[in-house]
Amino acid sequence: MSKVRSYAFVFVCQAGVLENKALLLAASLKRFLRCEHELIAAVPSPAARWGTLAADTTALLHDLGCRIEPITNLVADDYPIGNKISCMLLKTTMDRLVFIDSDILLTGPFDGDPAFDFPVAAKAVDLANLTEYRQWRRAYAAMKLKLPDDRVASTVYGQLVHPYFNAGLIAADPTSGFGDAWLESCRRIDAKWGVRLKRPHLDQIALPVAIKKLKLPYACLDERYNYPVHIKAIDYARPPLFAHYHSPPVLRREPMLVDLARDLCNERPALKQRIEADPEYAPLLTSGVGGAVVAPAAAGTAALQPSSPHRTPTPELIITGFPRSGTSYLCNLLHRYENCVVLNEPDGISRPLRKELIPYGVGAFYRDQRREILERRPILNKLKDGKVTDETMEANEQTQYLPAVTSRDFVLGVKSPLGFLSRLPAMRRAMPAAKLIVCIRNPFDVIASWKTTFSHLLSADVKKMSHGGLRDPFLSDRQRRALVDVGQLKNPAWRRAAWWRYLADQILDAVAMSGGANAGSAGLIVVPYTQAVTDPMSVMGRIFEGFNPGTLREPIEPSTVRAGKRDALDAEDLQAIRAVCLPTAALLGVAQ
């Protein structure tokens, strides 16, 4: 294979919602491409079907150096995605023709990659939604081909599947005949019975079939090329090169992309005018997200300060621990800082924790909430007297409110004792830069509180629990065996003690994997209840190290440790705790 030295980037610019996406993409390509290249804006025709571009869009495309080419959908009238196949039929003198979805941004310099030396290069699908052998056999049979032995790994969860690519970014040798083969594959598969998901995924189903038809070697690109921002929050330690954001709300939740969009608008006043006039995009230029533009002052408050270039733009806290170990109390303390917001068991984290092998949806939820706060939209939280509750037994309902922060890099925390504690290794994978905060407390006070508060804690019936129980589909074999043992105990006192010990084991495992209980941002911070109560400021210092929490809105004073409700413990409880819990409690340092 010869080294690729020049690239033609082609994208669809269709009248309407795609215009601003295409213009932002073209501006990002113009800014960051460091290789020999040409930019091609493919405009669907006829205008009676697809509309006519606005005059300022056409002018901007010319200003960005784009070659404007008309294309016709040759796949099917009811399949507008077919326009991208026509893009790969365009002529170019460049070494590679690269189709790129309009809702992608190039975020940094690109001067080529050895993977593009292959005749075809694309990223595997984000999620494997078509895995059945019969489906793929029929798809290949439509082109009179046998199903190959090849496999690729989906990029979100790593599932091995038949070759299946995300068609958002595809590079191909323009002399290979790939465009014609892709079109033929689409048409034949579309006419084939028994292949599901042809709407909307016909293009992606046909893509590997076309590669096989031409017997082309191919390269699987990594997630830097076509990163699924709509599924996974950006890890700022390893940012993507081509960020696939799909929609304006997703674009607006990532500071890195907001800053880029603002810079592109500042460089091109005509682009800025279009973005300001679009309600979906206008908050990019007026909200507190990002770091390039200071937001207007909210009523009665100062304007938001920009993020520090030396800090992460998205400081995040994952707060968990034993139920009734002081997690809500800690949330209340953290929320007293003017530049910190902590959400107490929000509904938005439940589904990804229950449904996702790696709960990337939790990280996306954090970014969504950050966007809402900075765009001054109400969010839900558990409040008491207008403040984040320090006791969920007294205030367990979600209420709308409008938290105020002082800078764009405000600290955002979410608390979920059972939800997060059961998924700590997966949470670390999903949110590698977040600090993990684990609250611990001695088994006597924890179990006494279980007996006098919520029914699911009183019963400790792990057979009925989705979080922290046997209904969790992502339990390891070891976890499942341990919970089965807990669930088989008929006596509630012994079942509660066994469940406390199980949860303690999850904490000990997390501490060991994180390099110690005080590993800080690189690992996990353990917060004993007694320390949170008697020495709260030292706890705040550990948690906020490297972050910008601002100043206190109200003072934090040391208090006296309450002995809980130990009179609720009977002789059976005490014996069960001594026999089952105390050896493990000693390892955590909470035996008393």
Q: Beta 435-440 vs 524-528: how paired, if at all? A: parallel
Q: Beta 96-100 vs 6-12: how paired, if at all? A: parallel
Can you name the residues that pair with 122 across neighbouring β-strands? 170, 220
Domain-embedded: residue 386: yes
Whether 415 and 551 map to the same domain: the answer is yes
Answer positive or negative: Cα dihedral of 357, 358, 360, 363. Answer: positive
Domain-embedded: residue 261: no
pLDDT at 538 over 80: yes
Whether 183 and 95 map to the same domain: the answer is yes
Q: Which residues contact 220 (CB under 8 A, 6 or more apart)?
A: 115, 121, 122, 123, 124, 152, 153, 165
pLDDT at 539 over 80: yes
- Cis check for the bond before 46: say yes or no (omega within 30 of 0): yes
Domain count, the chain: 3
Domain-embedded: residue 323: yes
Domain-embedded: residue 356: yes
Whether 147 and 15 map to the same domain: the answer is yes
Whether 408 and 504 map to the same domain: the answer is no
For 368, the token pair is 């969504």
Whether 333 and 201 map to the same domain: the answer is no
Residue after which a domain boundary falls, among 194, 228, 262: 228
Residue after which a domain boundary falls, among 228, 256, 288: 228
Provide mean pLDDT across the span 312-316.
Answer: 91
**How buried is residue 347: exposed, middle or buried, by Cβ count under 10 Å (0-12/13-18/19+)?**
exposed
* pLDDT tens track for 8-25: 999 999 999 999 999 999
Whether 178 and 104 map to the same domain: the answer is yes
Nearest-10 crossing angle of helices 198-214, 133-141: 60
Whether 216 and 312 map to the same domain: the answer is no
Whether 70 and 94 map to the same domain: the answer is yes
Q: What is the CATH number of the domain that holds 52?
A: 3.90.550.10
Residue after which a domain boundary falls, among 228, 258, 274: 228
Provide mean pLDDT across the span 284-300.
Answer: 50
Domain-embedded: residue 250: no
Can you name the residues that pair with 73 across neighbouring β-strands? none
Provide mean pLDDT across the span 217-243.
Answer: 98
pLDDT at 56 over 50: yes
Whether 547 and 506 map to the same domain: the answer is no
Of residues 189, 25, 5, the one with CA closest to residue 103: 25
pLDDT of residue 2: 72
Domain-embedded: residue 397: yes
pLDDT of residue 57: 99
Q: What is the dihedral of CA 126, 129, 130, 132, to 10 degrees?
A: 120
Domain-embedded: residue 161: yes
Confidence of residue 302 (pLDDT cuts 50, 70, 90): very low
Whether 551 and 571 map to the same domain: the answer is no
The domain in which residue 485 lies consists of 442-513+562-592
Going across the sheet that includes 66-72, the strands are 66-72, 36-45, 6-12, 96-100, 165-172, 120-124, 218-221
* pLDDT tens track for 417-462: 999 999 999 999 999 999 999 999 999 999 999 999 999 999 999 9
* pLDDT tens track for 84-141: 999 999 999 999 999 999 999 999 999 999 999 999 999 999 999 999 999 999 999 9
Whether 105 and 172 map to the same domain: the answer is yes
Whether 147 and 36 map to the same domain: the answer is yes
pLDDT of residue 472: 94
Going across the sheet that includes 340-344, the strands are 340-344, 411-415, 316-321, 435-440, 524-528
Domain-embedded: residue 280: no
With vertex at residue 382, the alpha carbon angle to CA 460 and CA 561, rounded to the nearest 5 degrees, is 65
